[in-house]
Structure 1
């Protein structure tokens, strides 16, 4: 059983929104079945995307979260940073609010996720 391991994952381009990537993360961790207790740190090196831990059971949570984020950071504002389109600066602001990393506990070979 490795004490520490580092893997990189490349996600296919996804449309704007809240997406579940749990299976992608689990599939990228070949030694996960050997881990009884540990942590997994996930970092997203992109300034206009973010990571969060939330409920995956009810799809309406993702819809409502997107609505809340769009109300907090509307595209209709006159942002000065608009070189890459009107959605770029709002994406940077949403990333700042949500963050670019998540640390998950592992117990009995499973990621402990929110419910």
Structure 2
């Protein structure tokens, strides 16, 4: 039979082993810390310090909002790009800013968006061809065919006619074309595309106000 001393030693070893496994199960992070602690002292002197992170440049965004009025026009389609650019000198601020030396190192190109919104309920805004004047005339004729003021025999077509027979057709035309347009800005100019321009469609011929917000 084993001696009492050997049995006591085996019991103590099993107790320590069981306690160690119990601690490892409950605190695995502590066990990992104890195991890796000697190695952290050995390799601390050989590791190079981490260089400080350089601050990153966050580009800024600018917003501006302006209201201006277009001259009153009769029903039709009218080019308004020149008037808009003259009314919004802020567009020219979005230009390329270049650093010195070489082929413009560090050059940053500012771009933006111009959003135009017409407030009048009987007006619309669009981007359309400006090379041929017939396009604007055809647009007006097409809108009249889509939303005529009366039926083929002169009968009423709409319930809403509080301001005359052209009241409801004007609202329909405005809703179909839209009350706002968005145009990119690059190098201080509107990038509307070749042979395209901003056009105002007053479908009842009343004065129109435009909200403009540029980014």
Matched, 1:112 2:212: no
The equivalences for 1:1-115 within 5 A come to: 3-36=62-95, 37-77=111-151, 78=156, 79-114=158-193, 115=195
More displaced 10-residue stretch of structure 1: 79-88 or 95-104: 79-88
SS at match of 1:26: helix
Greater share of strand: 2
Higher relative contact order (CA 8 A, sep 6+): 1
**How many Å separate the matches in 2 of 1:50 and 1:43?**
9
Q: State the Cα deviation string for residues 54-97 of structure 1 (Å, max 9, x = none).
A: 01121000011111111111111422211211111111000110
**How many Å separate the matches in 2 of 1:19 and 1:63?**
10
TM-score normalized with structure 1 length = 0.92
The structure having more radius of gyration, on CA atoms, is 2
In structure 1, runs of 5+ residues without a counterpart are none
**Superposition CA RMSD, Å:** 1.3
For this pair of structures, how many residues does the alignment match?
114
**How many Å separate the matches in 1 of 2:122 and 2:91?**
29
**How many Å separate the matches in 2 of 1:13 and 1:29?**
19
TM-score normalized with structure 2 length = 0.51
Runs ≥4 residues deviating over 6 A = none
SS at match of 1:24: helix
